[in-house]
Amino acid sequence: MSDIERSTMARVTWRLLPFLLLLYIVSWLDRVNVGFAKLQMNSDLGMSETAYGLGAGIFFIAYAVCEIPSNFLLVRFGARLWIARIMITWGLISAGMMFVQGETSFYVMRFLLGAAEAGFLPGIVYYLSQWFPRFHRARAVSWFMIGIPLSIVFGGPLSGWVMDRFDEYLGLHGWQWMYLVEGLPAALLGFVVLGAFAVRPEYLTWSETPPASSVFGTAGLIVLAFVGMESALTPSGEVHDPARTVPRAAALAMTGVVVLYVAVQLVAQGLLGPAIVNERAAPLAAGAGLAFGPLARTVMLVGASISMFGNLSASVLAAPRGVFALGRDGIGPRALASVHPVWHTPHVAIVVYALIALGLGVSGSVERLAVLTNLSSLLVYVGVALAAWALQKRDVRLQRDPFRLPGGPLIPLVTLAAVAAVIAAAVSGTEWMAVGAALVIASVAYGLRTRGAAST
């Protein structure tokens, strides 16, 4: 074996087999979880052992009947598209098993699941044959088939834990949760398949370490993705054990946002490579167009437009409460607190807020407006960090428990240092002047209002 062949096969192996192995583990898990569901499903639905065994076997009848046609279609449409179709449909049907109500629906769903999954294993083997020569093919297939014992090793405890832990949660049986939890990942991975093999690894290599100024400057923009996480504190008085629940909810939300943004960046970078600098407006849509054609780009842009319209609509209906409060409390004109006589909405505040948003939108770029928003939020975070430090130094107590931060002043100090670095790298004098003017106007208005209230 030559050095070129060895390096090429190693690269192909690491590019394909780990992901294909994950797909097969999920596939086998969805195929055998019916055996674990039987522990609860029979008694809950009143099915006999014979009916349950027949339904379990119907899967393989549909699988055998549809397997050859499925592989003909795989060759016709291509492995990436057809394997993704198989995974999306079988994942949705597997999750749909949670809606089974009796023997007939059980038979129908098992037959559909077998038809949807048909051709997956032969299709993967055919796909591997296109990448691995005969000398290397047996080893590649053997690594792929390890997914069978791995799915049993991990699937048994997972299925048992889900059925036991979530039984009767939200009115659903444990077996229903098991089908949902183990079915949806297959559908999600199907969408990953659509783009995973279009990503070029050479576009994701780390060629050089960016300077700290670039890192903090970029952070000044993406902080916008995390603005609003503090709203988790708003309903904290209405949840059970807020000291435990609220921090976990905030941490989970922030982790989800980080994972989502990193995934979007990796996909866009992996598809476009150096050309990403020319697609700053909509890099993900450009990547979709490159991988799947102009229709995919259009779908992405339309979906993003609908999402933005929904977000703006919610903002226009919710955010004017602050404008309304300015008029109600006498800080702004009383007209801002007007309520429509028919719709009972703060219509003046909504219109004023919408006009302000429109003016900001047409007068500046997305980057400039994001920096302004983030600067305002970061200044608030500075106040929060200083307040947390002060509360701990003053030994403030709530229900006799002292306020304590892990590490003492370390967290506030790190926060202040990080905010200072981001502001120094991302904010220019123009942004400081705009935010400063807004603060001066707000302070003067508040001072006049408090002086007027004190005189009365």
Each residue of 350-393: pLDDT tens digit?
999 888 888 877 876 777 777 777 788 888 888 888 888 887 77
Contacts 24+ apart (CB under 8 A), 215-218: 215/425, 216/421, 216/422, 216/424, 216/425, 216/426, 217/425, 217/426, 218/426
Question: For residue 454, what pLDDT band results from cuts at 50, 70 and 90?
Answer: low
Q: pTM, whole model, 2 decimals? A: 0.62
224 vs 439, higher pLDDT: 439
Flag whether pLDDT at 117 surpasses 70: yes
Q: Which residues contact 127 (CB under 8 A, 6 or more apart)?
A: 20, 79, 83
Query: What pLDDT, on the 0 to 100 scale, is given for residue 302?
Result: 92
Q: What is the reported pLDDT for 1?
A: 62
Provide φ and ψ at 401, rounded to 5°.
Answer: -95, 125
Report, as an integer, the average pLDDT of 78-102: 86
What is the reported pLDDT for 234? Answer: 67
- At residue 215, does pLDDT exceed 70? yes
Query: Is the model's pLDDT at 452 over the cut of 70?
Result: no
CATH number corresponding to 8-197: 1.20.1250.20
Q: pLDDT above 90 covers what percent of the chain?
A: 2
Is 174 a residue whose pLDDT tops 80?
A: yes
Phi, psi dihedrals of residue 301, rounded to the nearest 5°? -65, -40
pLDDT at 57 over 80: yes
Confidence check: pLDDT of 118 > 80: yes
Single out the residue of 418, 389, 420, 416 nearest to residue 405, CA to CA: 389
- DSSP collapsed to 3 states, 104-124: HHHHHHHHHHHHHHCCHHHHH
According to the model, what pLDDT value does residue 306 have? 92
**Among 224-233, 295-304, 433-442, which range has the highest average pLDDT?**
295-304
The pLDDT value recorded for residue 294 is 86
State how far the alpha carbon of 329 is from the alpha carbons of 313, 316, 323, 375, in Å: 26, 21, 10, 26
Is residue 398's pLDDT more than 70?
Answer: no
| Residue 230 in this model has a pLDDT that exceeds 70 | no
Ranges 49-63, 198-212, 245-259, most confident: 49-63
Looking at residue 277, what is its pLDDT? 79
Helix, coil or strand: residue 346: coil
pLDDT band for position 264 (cuts 50, 70, 90): confident
- Domain edges within the chain: 8-197, 319-363
Query: Residue 52: which of 43, 65, 63, 64 has the closest Cα?
Result: 43
Burial 210-237 (b: 16+ CB within 10 A, else e): eeeeeebbebbbebeebbeeeebeeeee
Residue 403 pLDDT more than 70? no
- Structure tokens given for 363: 């007068």
